[in-house]
Amino acid sequence: MTGRDCSIANALAVVGERWSLLVLREATLGVRRFDQFARNTGASRDILAARLKTLVAAGVLRRVRYTDRPPRHEYVLTESGRALRPVLMALMEWGNNYATEGEPPTAWRHECGAEFHPEMVCSSCGTHADETNLQAVRVGRVH
């Protein structure tokens, strides 16, 4: 049995590993260089190099040379990587509410001055979306 065809499983194949998510957290916060990723994530250099290579191959990060002597690169979020921001923010919100004791270590502040909390809304009508008004629908694949 191969399991259910699932977009969540497909996404996890790319970003579903702890170090990958921490790299994406750092990239979302503006980190671009290997040593900064290593310091801020706590990942060993070999694990970090492997995760960066995987994220570049998947098109989530782009490797950009910033000096020739010695050759050094930084990692920049692609459109695909930037599209993960809401996912990371929702995961952080969940962690703040259910996996953190005391005050959360990080919060987002909106330009209006209020603390930002992500919410799901319907892109069509703008109403709040939750388990009471959503229904999963299997969509066939076009070959």
pLDDT the model gives residue 4: 75
CA 63-64-66 angle, to 5 degrees, is 140
Confirm whether 136 is domain-assigned.
no
Structural domain harbouring 32:
7-116
pLDDT digits (tens, 9 = 90+) for 10-62: 999 999 999 999 999 999 999 999 999 999 999 999 999 999 999 999 999 99
Confirm whether 60 is domain-assigned.
yes
Enumerate the β-bridge partners of residue 115. 109
> How many distinct structural domains can be found in the chain?
1
Tell me how far apart the alpha carbons of residues 80 and 61 are, in angstroms, rounded to a whole number. Answer: 8
pTM of the model: 0.86
CATH of the domain at 79: 1.10.10.10
Tell me how far apart the alpha carbons of residues 46 and 116 are, in angstroms, rounded to a whole number. Answer: 35
Confirm whether 2 is domain-assigned.
no
Confirm whether 124 is domain-assigned.
no
Enumerate the β-bridge partners of residue 77. 61
Confirm whether 123 is domain-assigned.
no
* Helix ranges restricted to H, 6-100: 7-15, 18-28, 34-41, 45-57, 79-82, 85-98
Confirm whether 63 is domain-assigned.
yes
Give percent above pLDDT 90 in the chain: 85
